[in-house]
Amino acid sequence: MEKSNNPSTAKSPLPVIGWAFYDFANTLFSILVVTRYLPPLLKELTGTSSAMGACVALSMGIAGLLVPLLGAISDQTGRRKVYLLTSTLLCVISVSCISFSHRIPFILLFFFVSNLAYQVSMVFYNSLLPIVSTEKFRGTVSGLGVSMGYVGSLLAITAAHPFVQAYGTRNIFWTTGLSYFIFSLPLFLTVREIGHGVPPDGNSIILRQRIRAVLQTVRSLPDHPAMLFFLLGNFFCLDAVNTTIVFYSEYLLHARAFSALNVDLCLMAVQFSALLSALFIGRWTDRIGAQPMILAVTGAWIVAIGTILGTKGFAFVIFASIIGGFGLGGIWVTGRILLLDLAPAGKTGEYLGLYGMTGKFSALGALVFGLLADFLSYDCALLFQMVILGLGFACFRRVR
């Protein structure tokens, strides 16, 4: 198993804190743009849910093709921070442009670019985890990062409501981009990595070599059933997670006719529960293992969606949001750790890339959700997510 490559990690907590702050930063984009404000805005402008779903599916599908290759290149070059900074700046600039765009095609284009850059950035961010942590405390550090993300979400939702009331929805996008950049700086200032000295002009050679290596890794998956079932389970489970992240606000606004304030309260319940669960699940994962915990958080998602479908009152939706928050906080922590447990030494970046690819391709469910919501109903679209979660749970049970 891979050890920390950063000799300063044992002497100072600053790299761990800086790494965790990036989760704080990028979750601002996820909660304010992807979940809270852009889907209802596009629903108002286009009259459909499928426009947002198609844009999410396309951007994440392309990201799914890129991240295994980019993860392999990051393993070879050791330039994870450079790639992370590039993708972060691209996301920050493009999401800020949404504030100044008034034509639907441009809004969709800028969101497409920003979401693609955001998704790509995660493979570089995740690949820094072995550098800032040791194997013994990897789950705890991963949980700290996820919990910092939910702290950011809670603060963002709380601050965004009065801001939007005063200045309008359009201005939330450039402020999100600026905040993302500011809070990402601690990582770039504190985390030190050891590169391999590969010159930039060698990347094209590395790319061809790693394409072959990644394809070989994919072909060898049937010989590693634990990894195969994990990746399949991750695909199905994150289909529901990514779809819910995108459409939860729109569902509550249109299917349940909740007020904007009640929607924010439900989102805060999700984030607060996810924050607490991420802190504890990281420690529990270190103690009992990632596979039992990933079954528990998948089961929590099934219960949460079933509760929302079976009840109508605001109090029950809050309760379901709390249960879903437990699953949301746990899925990222346990998924990362289970992947690192299963990945062979020296191929962490490649398998993190495949892990990221399954998560990105699972966003095809966002398009399916949008189509079901447009042509049938929001509840039919949500019911479909329970079926997908059941498939994910069955796959995770096969992981040993």
Segment (H or E) for 294: helix 290-310
Please classify residue 11 by burial: count the beta carbons closer than 10 Å to its beta carbon, then call 0-12 exposed, 13-18 middle and 19+ buried: exposed
State pTM to two decimals: 0.74
Least confident of 81-85, 90-94, 147-151, 299-303: 147-151
Report the distance separating Cα 344 and Cα 185, nearest Å.
32
Helices (H), ranges, 191-259 = 203-219, 225-254
pLDDT at 386 > cutoff 80: yes
Nearest to 341, CA basis, from 288, 289, 279, 296: 289
CATH class belonging to 14-397: mainly alpha
Q: Could you read off the pLDDT of 190-207 as tens digits, one per residue? A: 877 765 555 545 556 656
Q: For residue 175, what pLDDT is reported?
A: 92
Report the alpha-carbon distance of residue 32 to residue 189 in Å, rounded.
25
- Which of left, alpha, beta for 78 (phi over 0: left; psi -120 to 50: alpha)? left
Q: Which of 8-12, 147-151, 317-321, 357-361 has the highest mean pLDDT?
A: 317-321
**pLDDT tens digit sequence for 237-248:** 888 887 877 888
Identify whether the C-beta of residue 233 lies closer than 8 Å to the C-beta of residue 392.
Answer: yes
Angle, alpha carbons 249-37-19 (nearest 5°): 95
Query: What is the rounded average pLDDT of the residues 163-179?
Result: 90
- The average pLDDT across 321-329 equals 80
* 368-377 confidence digits (pLDDT tens): 888 888 888 8
Mean pLDDT of the region 297-301: 85
3-class SS at 2?
coil
Q: What SS3 state is found at 7?
A: coil
Cβ-based neighbour number of residue 189 at 10 Å: 12
> Can you give the residue ranges of every domain in the chain?
14-397
Cα separation, 382 vs 337, whole angstroms: 28
Q: Are the CB atoms for 242 and 60 separated by under 8 Å?
A: yes
